[in-house]
Structure 1
Amino acid sequence: MPSIFDALNIGTSGLNVAQNAINITGNNVANANTPGYTDESPTITESYPTNTPTGQYGLGATIQTITSSRNQLLDSTLNQQLNSQAYYQTLNDNLSQIQNIFNETKGTGLATALNNFFSSWQTLSSSPDLATARGQVIQSGQTLVQAIQSSYSSLQQLNSNLNSQVVSNINQINTLTKNIANINDEIKLASLSPSQSANTLIDQRNQLVQQLQKIANVTVLSNTYSSGSQGQSIGANQNEMTILLGGMPIVSGINSTNLTTQASSSGKNVDVVFNGQAITNKITGGSLGAVIQLANQTSPSNSSNPSAPNTINYMDTLNTLANSIINQVNILHSGGSGLSAYTQTQGTYALTSASNPVSQSEQAGVNLPIKDGTLSVNVYDSNNNLVNTVSIAIGSNDSFSTISQKFNNALGQYGISMSLSGISQGNVQITSNNGNQFSFAGDTSNFLASVGINTFFRGTNASNIGVNSVVANDQSKIAAGESLSPGDNSNALAIANLQTQNVMDSNTQTINQYYESFVGQIGSLAQSNQNILNSQNSMVSQTQSLVQSQEGVSLDQEAANLIKYQMAYQASAQFISIVNQMTQSLINMVQ
């Protein structure tokens, strides 16, 4: 039969249990507003009983474990939602910047510059000899160039900022993974026996994992919990956590591996590297996934730097637009004549070889191959009297040597010759040596535009487009017609009509329609992304509320628990007081 001293032990165990339970309750209350804190509760069990002939007698109570209310499945769901939320939030923030780059609402954007440019050619066609009309063409051309280059520079700056964000995010990941590995080690030491728990460390680690999930689409493999989905007990394998990024283990138990960054093979963006292996294209979620996607979309694409499916490459689209404007205007302008003839002129695009086909030797990268056609040249004497119009047949596979030989054979008698500056590469030059002059009366082969002779624009894309210095410095060289005859407006009218011709997207859109479609896509994508973000925000809010209801501290419940444990403490103290009186009575009886 249990002795009276067993009764004292029972009372003492009750006091200890109640006191520790009150401490746990107090800790919950103190951390009610601590981010990531999970409500804890004592698992109270009966102490092992003593056996007697009349049966088993209990020997009080003990706290077996301190149980966390964390729900692993719910936490995993929230982390996935936070990953998506961070992805769409980052897209949303940067799409707003892109919308501002191509903002057409104030009438000062690229669409306005395009309209004004073609309108100036229309005005010139009405007065092809008027100096003010020619000056307006130059001014509108320079304004268009500035609008294109401004958009390009803004995209370039955004791309630079995005690549800086990649480096910053990788530094954050490395800090987080190092801290997670350190906490794994602490959890291992704090959990040497199944009865020990490391709830505080587990909460801290889960906060770090959540921050990591917001940055990138990591996969967390863990044996952190060992029982059901509601009141989770802490098991002995709490430190066994592996975190993968792109299939690579950036955390493995108590070890972490730092990621590094390096310039991509294209040299345009930053690659994320794990132990010498680039894993950039495997990072598709979180803020880092969005930043990588946008960095690809704001730099010219190539085989090693693809944009995400069903997305717009903003830089490629702007370059395509600029290249088409350059080529389409130059094709017409190069085959026309201004108010004055040339005695010497030089192309703006360098050829790498005189013997290879011209279309294969355009070092400047103009996407304008020559084709089978005819180049016509007007020859004038020193008094601007037309001497002759000479036509030269050009083939699509002709080399510069072949073309210059044909040209010189046909025009050499007038002292006009074609040559190539430099030996290994250079610009095409046409020169008159005997007082005659020349202009151009049409070029259906695109040769002049391809090498940059008598063109309105120079450059190849949005980064280097400009007005050809020849026409910028001498308005008389604006090719409004096909001859020096006063009032010839045929070329100006043709260039003005480019605005209504389908020259873009496999000849299905005009230049304006192509750009308007591009701006419309940006707006549509931004709105669609905003809608998804709003939905994602709602989902995160609902899940966070559910997490708080299951894992967070309920002050009402803690107040009830406090009263319960206080009464238990008082009852145990009363019990000990009674046992003490019994003991005193027993001692008095013995005396």
Structure 2
Amino acid sequence: MLFTALNNAFSGLSAAQQSIDVVSRNVANASTPGYTRKTLPVDNAVLGGEGRGVWTDAVRRDVDQRMMQQLRTDLSASQQTGVVADYLGRVDEMFGRPQDENSIASQVTRFTEAFQELTTNPESASVREGVISAAGETARKLNDLSTQIQDMRAEAESGIAASVDKVNHALGQIAELNEDISQRQAQGRSTADLEDKRDQHLEAVAEEIDIRVIDGGEGRSLVFTPDGSSLVGRGGARPLNFDQRFEINANTEWSRDGTQRQVGTITLGQDGNAVDLIGSGSLTGGRMAGLVELRDELLPQAQRQLDELAHQMATRLSEHTVRADAPTTTSREIDIAGRIQSDGDQIEVTFTNGSVQNRFTFIASSEPGGPASNDLTARANDTVFTFQRGASDAATAANLAAQINAAVAGSATTAGSTLTVQDSGGSAIQAVDARFTLTDTQSGNPDRLGLPVFADMKAGQVDYTGSVDGQGQKQGFAARIALNADLIANPERLVLTTGTTATGDSARPLELTRRLAEAPTTFSPATGIGGSGRPQTTTLGGFAREIVSFQGNQAQSASSRAEDRAAVARAIEDRVANQNGVNIDEEMNRLMEMEKVYAANAKLMGLVDQMFDTLFAIKR
């Protein structure tokens, strides 16, 4: 029995020593990020149905995996909203406030005021130079803002590449730790510290991309995207791929079609089985999702607003709008002679059928005509077609008639440049109302007060007509808008419409000032300002202020969301730390308890030793 007592005391002493070691490690790592409290499992050792001291198992940790998954989810959301708020805050600062001197709204106001001054002093060369200077500054302001937006998109592209590299490194570490943990568990050795390291890598992944983690058995953690694509499986890690692009501008876009895509995309797997995480919607959180949203949605939206402002400013100053002249008294005839001059010129047509009005816009193009996106115009309830400009007015009329026939249940016929819409099939078209809007590309058109103040520096200077061919001339126009070189060489054309116009004639300055400051303009809902049913209608200056206000409100909303998500993430981090972390007071109490246990077992061993001495003395 003395030997049994000695073995019991020895096992207790050994268990106390191991517990003291665990407590000391806990205290030493109390402030170590990612460290969780470790415990030594101790149980009654039973041999042959009788107690034989204590039994200890490998050091372990007690972690709530559901809470850890919630932590990872909240970290992903916090990182996503945080990066969006950071970028939009920079955009807001870049656009300024409506009243700020350096804002685009203030620049448009100064441009308008320069024209207003010209109305009262049209013969002044210095005032004309002031208009030229203000116009040039407005174009350069749009160029600068557009450049900064595209620089931020390029920065987001680089950020995505860095995020992918970080995720791939962490996934590789997780896969290696899975194998190490599995082997150690099979050997009955502690894996607690390795599990801590694995959780740190899982959090690193979660900061970049939203993930789901499940127990794969044998100590392995399997990692998936929210839609079930495997990132770390039993066979190891599956790295992400990102084909980063280094040329980012307003015309480079993401597309599901790889032949059309001009920015990088994130794929998982090899070519034959590759999954496009952007196209599949797998990016639901994390810094990576925020950067993709910025690159492909939020920053392009800011670019579209600048492009819309540049487009409307150029076309409103240079456009010439006329009603269709019917050659006879019937209202169903449209004469297009001289009315379609450039790609992008439009004819708005309203067909009246009883009490129903169907509205269409037909846009001239150098490409074959057909149905087009209704977003190409800002009119509510508009249906858009393009038609090909012909070599003559008659050919153009024939092409337009073909698209009218495709658009309405009427039959359009032509005779020369005159187009007639007739009832066909059961339809009853009572009236046709048409209006042409064409762009004046020359500054000396007689009897026309519009002026091509701005040009497109797409490939040297070209006329800006709002062509919809290809990606459309409007896309990226804010980056290319420039003061018309003809106006720089001939500032007097701000006043003179013909060679006989008096230098003091204020007709053109008054009309251009009206277009800038007073004439209501309907702006495309594709900018995010206004809706398709009720598009934004205001002045050019009013729209510039709307842009600035929109970006300010968006930045404020993003900041509020980021703060909310960060608060939620901090709260769950605190809960995890309180539940899984080290409490110094508890550990010191545990240490004192182990000190007493150690002392008691040591004393017991001493007493047993004395008993052995007494026994041996009796025997001698």
Scaled by the length of structure 2, the TM-score of the pair is 0.71
Q: Residues 135 and 246 of structure 1: is their aligned pair in 2 closer, same or farther, counting only changes over 3 Å? A: farther
Counterpart contact for 2:320–2:439, Cα < 8 Å: no
Opposite residue 238 of structure 1, the aligned amino acid is G
Q: Residues 403 and 129 of structure 1: is their aligned pair in 2 closer, same or farther, counting only changes over 3 Å? A: farther
Matches within 5 A, 1:561-572: 561-572=590-601
Q: Once the two structures are aligned, what percentage of the paired residues are identical? A: 20
Q: Residues 125 and 268 of structure 1: is their aligned pair in 2 closer, same or farther, counting only changes over 3 Å? A: farther
Counterpart CA distance in 1 for 2:75 and 2:388 is: 60
Q: Which residue of 1 aligns with 2:251?
A: none
The Cα RMSD (Å) is 3.1
Q: Which residue of 1 aligns with 2:608?
A: 579
Scaled by the length of structure 1, the TM-score of the pair is 0.74
Opposite residue 290 of structure 2, the aligned amino acid is A
Counterpart CA distance in 2 for 1:164 and 1:28 is: 40
2:588 aligns with one of 547, 559, 584? 559
Q: Which residue of 1 aligns with 2:511?
A: 494
Q: Residues 246 and 268 of structure 1: is their aligned pair in 2 closer, same or farther, counting only changes over 3 Å? A: farther
Counterpart CA distance in 1 for 2:310 and 2:588 is: 70
Q: Which residue of 2 aligns with 1:116?
A: 110
Counterpart CA distance in 1 for 2:298 and 2:561 is: 22
1:78 aligns with 2:75: no
Q: Secondary structure at the match of 2:522?
A: coil
Q: Residues 398 and 33 of structure 1: is their aligned pair in 2 closer, same or farther, counting only changes over 3 Å? A: closer
Q: Which residue of 1 aligns with 2:304?
A: 316
- Return the offset for 1:107: 0.7
Counterpart contact for 1:242–1:253, Cα < 8 Å: no
Opposite residue 177 of structure 2, the aligned amino acid is I
Q: Which residue of 2 aligns with 1:529?
A: 558
- Return the offset for 1:69: 2.5
Moved more, 142-151 or 65-74: 65-74
Counterpart CA distance in 2 for 1:513 and 1:397 is: 33
- Return the offset for 1:451: 8.8
Counterpart CA distance in 2 for 1:198 and 1:398 is: 72
2:53 aligns with one of 49, 52, 60? 60
Q: Residues 474 and 298 of structure 1: is their aligned pair in 2 closer, same or farther, counting only changes over 3 Å? A: farther
Q: Residues 260 and 14 of structure 1: is their aligned pair in 2 closer, same or farther, counting only changes over 3 Å? A: same
Opposite residue 119 of structure 2, the aligned amino acid is S
Deviations 1:107-159 (A, max 9, x none): 12211221121222222222333222221221111011011111101101111
Counterpart contact for 2:76–2:209, Cα < 8 Å: yes
1:541 aligns with one of 563, 570, 576? 570
Q: Secondary structure at the match of 1:60?
A: strand
Q: Residues 28 and 507 of structure 1: is their aligned pair in 2 closer, same or farther, counting only changes over 3 Å? A: closer
2:170 aligns with one of 172, 176, 179? 176
Deviations 1:291-316 (A, max 9, x none): 1000013665xxxxxxxxxxxx1111
Matches within 5 A, 1:375-454: 399=389, 401-403=391-393, 445-449=436-440
Counterpart CA distance in 2 for 1:10 and 1:247 is: 52
Q: Residues 260 and 129 of structure 1: is their aligned pair in 2 closer, same or farther, counting only changes over 3 Å? A: same
1:253 aligns with 2:234: yes
Counterpart contact for 1:87–1:287, Cα < 8 Å: yes
Q: Which residue of 1 aligns with 2:287?
A: 287
- Return the offset for 1:358: 8.3
Q: Which residue of 1 aligns with 2:480?
A: 464
1:217 aligns with 2:210: yes
Q: Secondary structure at the match of 1:458?
A: strand
Opposite residue 453 of structure 2, the aligned amino acid is F
Deviations 1:233-279 (A, max 9, x none): xxx62114233365321211350111111254444432111123321
Q: Which residue of 2 aligns with 1:325?
A: 313
Counterpart contact for 1:333–1:491, Cα < 8 Å: no
- The count of aligned residue pairs is 477
Q: Residues 115 and 332 of structure 1: is their aligned pair in 2 closer, same or farther, counting only changes over 3 Å? A: farther
Q: Residues 325 and 287 of structure 1: is their aligned pair in 2 closer, same or farther, counting only changes over 3 Å? A: same
Unaligned runs of 5+ in 1: 224-235, 301-312, 335-347, 352-356, 370-395, 407-443
Q: Which residue of 1 aligns with 2:549?
A: 520
Counterpart CA distance in 1 for 2:135 and 2:21 is: 78
The structure with more radius of gyration:
1
Deviations 1:387-416 (A, max 9, x none): xxxxxxxxx96835324999xxxxxxxxxx
Counterpart CA distance in 1 for 2:395 and 2:61 is: 89
Q: Secondary structure at the match of 1:164?
A: helix
1:18 aligns with 2:35: no
